[in-house]
Amino acid sequence: MSDHFKDLLYAGTLINTTDGFVPINVTGHPSKFPVDKVLQAQELQKIMNVLLYRAMMDQNTYEMDTKDEMYNMLVKMKRTSRKTKPTLIYTRTDYLLDKAHILKQVEINTIAVSFVELNTRLNQIHATLHENVWLPENVPKFVEMVALTRNTFIRVNDYSDVIALLLDDNTGIQSKNFFEKKNLMFELKKKGVTMLHVTMQDIEKNGKFENDRFIYAGQSVFFVYLRHFYNYDHYDNCTMHLRTQIENSDAITLPSIELQIVGLKMFQVVFKNKDVLKKYLSDTQISTIYEHFGDFKSAKDYETGDEKIYFLKCMREGGNTIITENFKDYIAEPDRYFLMKKIDSITVRNRFYTENEDSDMILELGVLGAFVEYDGDILLDEHSGFICRIKKKESIECGVTCNYGGLDTIYKN
């Protein structure tokens, strides 16, 4: 690691504020990854947007018989107001490229979607040192989506002075990905969107609900962007009550309860069923997307030796518990876990910035998607950039803030 590169990380505020103010884990240089596969994943995202939207519109989605506590809690908080308001979807679909050169979905993220802005700063740092680094438009696309949401909200509700809230568990510098959150707020402000960083306690103190309006500090709220509240233990009775009030107001939440539900890991298994897909997608769309889904089986169908082929995955969004051995300790809870077949991924040559030599690593491509709908009219359906995360070949998870992996970039050609 050169001092110059480390200085660039500090200058770019690629800093972990929750762990000693050291740079977050990133690669020392861009990775070589097939460009055509990135373009393919971006096209697939538009189908994923439609799939999630139509599943959200299906009442059967909210009537599933499961003991999963996260699903059942979210259903209780689902919007009951009959007033039509815009639907907003913003997701990240993560892929690995297997050795047959087929993109395989790892998971879908619908809440606290991280590194939208953070990864672009690594792109810029790598671009100062290397040629042909891909610079995806993550931030401009995010800002455009929020601006469209605001304009639609104003048109529908005839409000003029509106603000957005970034809802978190902590607004101080110890907040996870603190600089990313603040920089997104700065970028939105450039386009005339005021976003305040708040907690549920702030809303309890400064917020009120009048008929359909959500008012915070005297101003109408058009958009609530959640960067927390993805685990069951993030909720108490007060938090559930406030979340339910927000969902039933005019304010557009990201994610909505409906989007958060279809983002639960259990829906990876649901969407693998072609009979389910036929309710939501055309035959052409199904044939295009289906081979990219993972392979799953119920924990009830566990067989001795499955540990060699599968890993055990937690149902809930945000939990992302990956278990690779001793499945018998968990299969007694089939409503909490399912088996996902391991993906035999290609490797790239790279290293973390603290290392001196390249080694075989696995790159995970996260494609962002945006979708806005109102009263049957689709106002936006597009891919919105991408992020790259990377891990050691032998590592199971790719989490950046927990140091399982790191952020990466790729070459454009």
Residue ranges of the annotated binding site are 92, 107, 109, 265, 317, 340-343, 364, 389, 391, 397
Spell out the residues 6+ positions from residue 393 whose beta carbon is closer than 8 angstroms to its own. Answer: 347, 359, 360, 361, 362
- What 3-state class would DSSP assign to 347? coil
Please give the DSSP secondary-structure letter assigned to residue 280. Answer: H
Angstrom distances, CA of residue 217 to CA of 159, 162, 220, 221, 314: 16, 11, 9, 10, 39
What is the C-alpha separation between 79 and 68, in angstroms, rounded? 20
- What 3-state class would DSSP assign to 59? helix
Cα separation of the two ends of the chain: 26
Looking up tokens 């979210």 gives: 74
What is the chain's Cα-based Rg?
Answer: 21
Binding residues for Mg(2+): 107, 109, 317
Binding residues for substrate: 92, 389
What is the C-alpha separation between 81 and 258, in angstroms, rounded? 13
Spell out the residues 6+ positions from residue 19 whose beta carbon is closer than 8 angstroms to its own. Answer: none
Angstrom distances, CA of residue 308 to CA of 324, 343, 347, 407: 8, 12, 20, 28
Q: How far is CA 361 from the centre of its chain?
A: 22
Binding residues for ATP: 107, 265, 340-343, 364, 391, 397
